[in-house]
Structure 1
């Protein structure tokens, strides 16, 4: 068994490496920049670069390839666009090694509500999002097979120390929960 942590638009960071080091299960980082530390100045710079150079489609395809090449059972853990990439591949074939997934504050799921996941996925939504109504998305997904939903009293990015919405209490609580995956 191993964990694959699928990063947000910031990619591999020291904070994400610290996060993955807290697991007793072997854990690897999947990021959109092939392991390169990008060190973006701010969230807008990261978003612009990701949108222009990578895209969600390419990131999803890259994740799918990584999962297919895995040699052991996998838990997927994704943040923001990483959670969106997990969601996007969840209805594809040949993902039998995926045991479960957890996706945090994926804002792009709202564009892919037709997806029917082939593996159990737990979606954690923030209390609100700037560009859409979280309650509407949760309502659309609440009876979906293989999908469980939870809303937390934090904002998008609460698990990312680089985010202005980072919340130490939320981070600690979720890390404790993830260790039991």
Structure 2
């Protein structure tokens, strides 16, 4: 998915395990309206996104058919392709998309990375970003302790970790875990 308006800055938006669903289209439109060109790579190569009720199946599909290594390779190729067209490239990712953004954050063509609840970042703490990197986690993560991760990576230059009220998925307006108040308070990190 691409939304272009001949801007000199773009956003690469990375989806969750579900694919390009209403949540991702919502953010793509928001960035487009703020004047960015928007690129949303379909990491799953699937036209129809998984419904939220198929979370386990969606996760298994990503891990079996895509994986972080392939996704990182594909996204870095996209960044490198766009680097000649834009003076400013930022990347926004949600969940697995945030982990992929973290893995690509040392690409010298990136200017800013914002990752929401990228729980698998905990497996890749050896990555040291070149770009300004803002990671946002809900305080109620069931698979890991965000405070421990914050302690491990906040010492890296260019990395800022914020822990907010909410659960994994708090920024998705189509999720039962959506926290409108928390998400609205974070708009400065997305659009500045």
- How far did 1:179 drift? 5.1
Unaligned 5+ runs, structure 1: none
1:39 is matched with 50
- How far did 1:35 drift? 6.3
C-alpha RMSD of matched pairs (Å)? 1.8
1:103 is matched with 115
Q: Structure 2 residue aligned with 1:21, among 29, 36, 43?
A: 29
Aligned residues: 177
Alpha-carbon separation, structure 2, partners of 1:149 and 1:39: 29
1:89 is matched with 104
Alpha-carbon separation, structure 2, partners of 1:63 and 1:81: 13
- How far did 1:77 drift? 0.5
TM-score (norm 1): 0.89
Change (3 A) 1:163 1:46: farther
Unaligned 5+ runs, structure 2: 1-8
TM-score (norm 2): 0.84
Q: Is the 8 A contact 1:8 1:31 kept in 2?
A: no
User: Would you say 1:149 and 2:161 are equivalent positions?
Assistant: yes
Alignment of 1:1-181 (within 5 A): 1-23=9-31, 24=34, 25-34=36-45, 36-40=47-51, 41-70=53-82, 71-72=85-86, 73-91=88-106, 95-174=107-186, 176-178=187-189, 180-181=191-192
Alpha-carbon separation, structure 1, partners of 2:91 and 2:29: 15
